[in-house]
Structure 1
């Protein structure tokens, strides 16, 4: 990717240039502005990618080729944001990424994903703040400045207990477990479901992943989840 050229976000809905509250803000992830800083922050923390179906990355070019050019930019159902902390010294400070994927205007649905919070900002207001901002944008009605979607999904490796808990804390409800939902890359041996391989499997070096499926829907949102999320975002401890 030539960073001298404008970056085409290519999302199926208009993307706001800024989503924010008093402590966190989200801006579209632009390779020329955020890729170098994000890679520098993650390069010593391979554990961030244990339960993700991609990464870690060997270089900035690998990050761009695999995640941005290879996955997000060509897909009108996906969009990625840089998460910035407004309270840190020298703020705003890059704290991670978050985004949407599998977005369908026809079905008014999306999935919240690409969630990586840098270690020093974990167990702070950052993840809940970023998640809440995206939920507001996705589930608020058009008249309130949102996309008016009906459903936001969250998927996590069954081994990733912290991800499931983070989703539930924000009001997502478990719908079930998708068994053998995907084959992981060959280097993701620690994130498999523990199932054996049958004789003649065509991907013998790729373990299977079981996935927890959760969702937060418009009727949950308007039935009290919006107020709960807003309260979580306002907590100071």
Structure 2
């Protein structure tokens, strides 16, 4: 974890009885993450980055190339045999102390932990941190418009859809999935790179105080 997150040091005790979030430290987590994802290219279908050729590529492209002042966590499952086991990543990005806002992103749940309690618990812990501890006003969730599962996860956690950002992202060269189906304009600066439309959802402090907090807590308790 880089020490320049805009709110200072990231706490190391974001956890419940099922999941623990710890700062993602490349020397501790990168090899295990790469080993878990190297045979699962489908994980990157809707993300603007990946797949990666090696641990060094993952660290250079994702951690150093994209995280910078953002906060990236390793998600550890406390219920798995031999726990805690690395179950994926999640993080905060585009955090603004000026506007009291942040985005939950870098959500990568390893195949063995998909459709379990892991994603909901990790997102719930970050919502508590952002809205209760940091006292932010707005938390955003963005998903590829084709990623129905991600949008459903966000809505289940209380996020409300605000709209679709057209041509929001330029996908990495070589990606053949996740594009918006649009053509390529003449003399495009990034020829061959697909464009992505993004669904924008948000959960704000007044939603949180009006019952979303209790709903998220209940989801974390009943998620299988």
Name the TM-score class by shorter chain: over 0.9
1:176-226, Cα deviation, whole Å (9 max, x unpaired)? 000111221221221110111233323221111111000000000011000
Could you tell me whether the CA contact under 8 Å between 2:116 and 2:223 is conserved in 1? no
1:24-45, Cα deviation, whole Å (9 max, x unpaired)? 1100001111111111111111
- Structure 2 CA distance, aligned partners of 1:92 and 1:208? 38
More displaced 10-residue stretch of structure 1: 90-99 or 63-72: 63-72
Aligned to 1:19: 14
Q: Give structure 2 stretches of 5+ with no counterpart.
A: none
SS at match of 2:91: strand
Per the TM alignment, residue 236 of structure 1 is displaced from its structure 2 partner at its CA by 5.2
Aligned to 2:95: 103
Aligned to 1:33: 28
SS at match of 1:190: coil
| Aligned pairs, number | 223
Could you tell me whether the CA contact under 8 Å between 2:120 and 2:223 is conserved in 1? no
Aligned to 1:3: none
2:65 pairs with 1:70? yes
Tell me the TM-score normalised to structure 1 length: 0.91
- Structure 1 CA distance, aligned partners of 2:94 and 2:208? 20
Aligned to 1:125: 117
Tell me the TM-score normalised to structure 2 length: 0.96
Bigger relative contact order (CA 8 A; separation at least 6): 2
2:104 pairs with 1:112? yes
More displaced 10-residue stretch of structure 1: 151-160 or 187-196: 187-196
